[in-house]
Amino acid sequence: MKLTGAEIIVKALEEEGVDIIFGYPGGAVIPLYDKLYDSSIKHILVRHEQAAAHAADGYARATGRPGVVIATSGPGATNLVTGIATACMDSIPMVAFTGQVALPAIGRDSFQEADITGITLPVVKHSYLVRDVNKLACTIRSAFHLATTGRPGPVLIDLPKDIQTTLAEYSYPKQISFRGYHVPGEPEAAQIYQAVKAIGLSRQPVIYAGGGVISSGAADDLQKLAEKACIPVTTTLMGKGSIPEDHPLSLGMLGMHGTVCANYAISHSDLVIAVGARFDDRVTGSLDTFAPHAKVVHIDIDIAEIGKNVHVDYPLNGDVKMVLQELLPRVEVPQTERWLQQIASWKKDYPLSYTQDGDEIKPQYVIEQICELSKGEAVITTEVGQNQMWAAQYYKVMKPRCFISSGGLGTMGFGLPAAVGAQLGLPNELVVNVSGDGSFQMNLQELATIVQFQLPVKIAILNNGYLGMVRQWQELFHNKRYSQTELLPVPDLVKLAAAYGIKGLRAHRPEDVRPVLEQAFNHPGPVIIDFVVSQDENVYPMVPPGGSLTKMMGGAGK
């Protein structure tokens, strides 16, 4: 059966089970869009290519399936770069298709030509420039295999326009393999044995769970291990949902804006069991003072992460779920009674806290009310900055894939398009985008996408008139020299909502917060809620950059 390159792409996507694609058409991908016109695949027309990548990312995080995005050549392709880098830093499976000028025009500075495979080289798992239409189907199969196996990540396929119109025999490979690419199997029995012994001999162990727990579908296994061995669990931002955050063994998030209890526990532990986490700087603070008395068990599918930032005593290279299932029946239960008593004391003495008094709305109160009303089971997407950290601290996540946030890259403008992807992937779930007024304005054009596809996303904007996290750092570390962080005037967000045909609500006082949230959550369509919050509220606790986890500013939340 002979098909054009564009037909091959569509048929291959259908065979991969792709149901939704995010994209924006242009000259170099018109042949592909012409064939998508008759496909069963639903195409979501965003209003900016960066948003297409973030929406595909949000879809992947919410569903566990790879996100797919299409953009045209030149500026269309380069507009994807931030979204691809975001997915790369957080190990999110994505396949990006970019248009390219025809093969004879490559390298001639042709109209809308960009070397996108070169530009994205540091932020993809792999990339392809298709030069032979006969290899196109195999390339697509390879891209999905690479994106979804091992440590997940984005893969890019660059499609010259003439490749899309050239005929070739169609045959889609069912299996694929690459020289030099091997997904780790189970660790050696001796390594498992050593880790089991180390756990059994520990007295103050802590499980430190990262995004790998979520991506491998290992949250249930992690919880079983923690419960069987009576080991407390702290998570990274990406690991939220690895254990229900109301569980007695949950310590909450650790790191720069982590809980006092989590930071104290990791600092006083004698064994850190890192599960699908990479010891990044926002978690560890100063490496010299991080878990100074602890041995380290590190479970990770990417061997390059093991020992990269901290010394590892017991390396377990493999899929998190497989390794936990090997550990679970063998684990020797340590004596942690006194340790758990100490943990309970820290929890009691140093809870997350704030004071909601007067007529100003505290942003923490907004997040608490969202959590109470949704019972911790909404799908939360966040922007980046103070809003993100308040959401991470005060929204107690009950299950995996319900907290979607840009971690490694810290991309402002991520949350709104990610909510689009999450809502399309999980149409029956309540999706709430927690946003700051700064981040919201970076991709607010996606309100049109929300309206076009009738997505009931609820957008909660913590409106303080500032680039809040930058302002906080300027206050604490730069003598209150607030250089270019005041955003006033912020547009009238209720009128902006009306301009798009979206319901707009506003809360000025604390007593307004719960009623407007109830109204928004009961509304069948999208809602923008403008929470006018305290302008000078800071995120605490806070470990100063490069500092020790035991030396937190505002440790009691004051």
Both 274 and 127 in a single domain? no
CB 385 within 8 A of CB 436: yes
pLDDT of amino acid 488: 87
User: How many structural domains are present in the chain?
Assistant: 3
d(C-alpha 507, C-alpha 509), whole Å: 6
- Asked if pLDDT for residue 558 goes beyond 90, the answer is no
Name the amino acid, one letter, at 138: C
Residue 354 lies in a domain: no
pLDDT digits (tens, 9 = 90+) for 48-91: 999 999 999 999 999 999 999 999 999 999 999 999 999 999 99
CATH code for the domain of 327: 3.40.50.1220
Say yes or no: 160 and 197 in one domain: no
pTM beyond 0.85: the answer is: yes
Domain identity same for 284 and 383: no
Judged against a pLDDT cut of 90, whether residue 180 lies above it is answered with no
Q: Going by C-beta distance under 8 Å and a sequence separation of 6 or more, which residues neighbour residue 322?
A: 185, 186
Reported as a single tens digit per residue, the pLDDT across 396-413 is 999 999 999 999 999 999
Kindly report the CATH number assigned to the domain that includes residue 461: 3.40.50.970
pLDDT at 419 exceeding the cut of 50: yes
Beta-strand (E) ranges in 290-449?
A: 295-300, 314-317, 379-382, 403-404, 431-436
**Where does the pLDDT of residue 93 fall: very low under 50, low under 70, confident under 90, or very high at 90 and above?**
very high
pLDDT tier, 186 (very low <50, low <70, confident <90, very high otherwise): confident
Domain contains 537 = no
pLDDT tens track for 204-255: 999 999 999 999 999 999 999 999 999 999 999 999 999 999 999 999 999 9
Q: Give a yes or no: residue 548 inside a domain.
A: no
Q: What mean pLDDT value characterizes the chain?
A: 97
| Confidence tier at 555 by pLDDT (50, 70, 90) | low
* Distance of alpha carbon 264 from alpha carbon 206, whole angstroms: 11
Give the pLDDT confidence score for residue 185 in this predicted structure.
83
Write the pLDDT tens digit of every residue in 122-167.
999 999 999 999 999 999 999 999 999 999 999 999 999 999 999 9
pLDDT tens track for 379-399: 999 999 999 999 999 999 999
Give pLDDT tens digits for 100-126. 999 999 999 999 999 999 999 999 999
Q: Same domain for 405 and 369?
A: yes
Contact (CB, 8 A) for 213 and 242: yes
Question: 315 preceded by cis ω (within 30°)?
Answer: no
Positions annotated as catalytic residues are 49, 111-112, 161, 469
The range of the structural domain enclosing residue 131 comes to 2-169
Backbone angles phi, psi at 345, to 5 degrees: -65, -45
